[in-house]
Structure 1
Amino acid sequence: MRLGFFGSTGRVGNVVLQNALQDGWNIKALVRNPEEYKEDSSLIKVIKGNALEEDSVFETIRDTDAVFSALGTDGNTTLSESIPLIIKGMQNYGVKRIVTIGTAGILQSRAEAGLYRFQSSESKRKLTRAAEEHLKVYSQLKETDLSWTILCPTYLPDGERIGKYRTEQDYLPIDGKMISVYDTGDYAYSLLQTGEYPCARVGICY
């Protein structure tokens, strides 16, 4: 498998990256500062740039079979501004499969029909900016013909690999409280392999 990778230095991203390297996948990783990049593998081709540069994004996607993004919000609009470039690059090179990491806030509310969790009483967060950024990604992906999946974890401590968790399309499983970075990354990696949950948001928790 040849994978275009955005966000490989993040917590979940690194778990996915390590799984892919262990299985011998070829990675093209977009990295802002290659001189600070800690991964040293012949399987990784580092692309210098950022996710708001079309040329850098396109080069990361060119000659790949799938795309993975663990880009975060980080107090800015990089997430929502980069997804149009990623979509355009995938369409340009005929790449269909993308798995991204979202947030449980953009899943549907069980308590209040028609609302997202971040808009409802289910959310404990007072600030909604991050969820709104992830919602923009969802809104744009669902208008495409790509095979996309947005994995939406709830509270995400480092924790440990337990290997058992619950998933549900469009909703957070009932009484879901948390999921570790490792189990989230492992499941995200499996989605790249199986193609499960195409064109869907997926809630994940213990």
Structure 2
Amino acid sequence: MLICVLGATGRIGQEWLKLALADDHRMRALVRDPNKINAVNDRFTWLKGDATDLRHLVQASEGAEAVISALSTDGGNVLSVTAPLLVKAMKVNGIKRLISIGTAGILDSRAEPGRLRYESSESRRKMTRSAMEHHRFYEEIAQSGLDWTIVCPTYLPDGPYTGNYRIERDRLPVGGESISVADTAEFAFHQLRNKEFISARVGISY
């Protein structure tokens, strides 16, 4: 399978590269700074470009069977700008499957039904700008007609892969406080072959 990767130079993106190459997939990454790419393999290629440019997204995803995205908010509006362009690029290239990394803030609140966690008393963060960006991305993707899954980790420290974590559709598992980058990356990557969480957000934590 050829997979288009966005956010390949970040912590989760780098884990995805390892998983894909170990699983005999081919990957093509769209990166702003190729100097941050360390992988050397004939099944991995990269294109220098910007995820907020439709032309670059179309070129990077051409021929791919799926797109996986670990784009961050980047301190600005990268996610909300990219979302509609990514939908267009995927439709141009006939791609249905999209897996992305979100935040636990966009999961449904247990304490205040009808609200998302970042909008409710469950959120411990004073600043909501990042969660709002993820919310805008989610809203755009949810109405796209794509086969999407947004994996939503809570606090995301570095740490070893354990394979021992909890998941819940559209909510954060009760009492969940953290989940490692490695475990989050592994779960998200394996959604490429899993249809259980299509059109869903998935909370993940220990």
Q: TM-score, normalised by structure 1?
A: 0.97
Q: Corresponding residue for 1:79?
A: 79
Report the 3-state secondary structure (helix = DSSP H, G, I; strand = E; otherwise coil) of the residue aligned with 2:83: helix
The amino acid that maps onto 2:122 is: E
* Residue matched to 1:33: 33
Q: Is residue 2:20 matched to residue 1:20?
A: yes
CA RMSD of aligned residues (A): 0.9
CA distance in 1, matches of 2:154, 2:114: 20
The worse-fitting range, judged by mean Cα deviation, of 102-111 and 29-38 is: 29-38
Aligned partner of residue 56 in structure 1, secondary structure: helix
| Counterpart AA for 2:201 | R
Number of the residue aligned with 2:105: 105
Aligned positions, number? 206
What is the one-letter code of the residue matched to 2:76?
N
**1:17 offset after TM fit, Å?**
1.5
User: In the alignment, what sits opposite 1:7?
Assistant: 7
Q: For residue 36 of structure 1, report the CA deviation from its aligned partner.
A: 4.1
Task: List structure 1 runs of 4+ shifted beyond 3 angstroms.
Answer: none
Equivalent residue for 1:142?
142
Deviation at 1:35, TM superposition (A): 3.9
Quote the Cα distance in structure 2 between the aligned partners of 1:160 and 1:54: 36
SS state at 2:150 partner = strand
1:89 is matched with 89
User: Which amino acid counterpart does residue 14 of structure 2 have in structure 1?
Assistant: N
Paired amino acid for 1:130: S
Work out whether residues 63 and 93 of structure 2, in 8 Å CA contact, stay in contact via their aligned partners in 1: yes
Q: Kindly, what percent of the aligned residue pairs are identical?
A: 46
How far did 1:33 drift?
2.1
Structure-2-length-normalised TM-score = 0.97
Unpaired runs of 5+ residues, structure 2, are none
Aligned twin of 1:194: 194
SS in 1 for 2:192: helix
1:22-72 Cα deviation digits (max 9, x unpaired)? 111111100112244222111112111110111111111110000000000
SS in 2 for 1:195: coil
Structure 1 residue 13: Cα displacement: 1.3
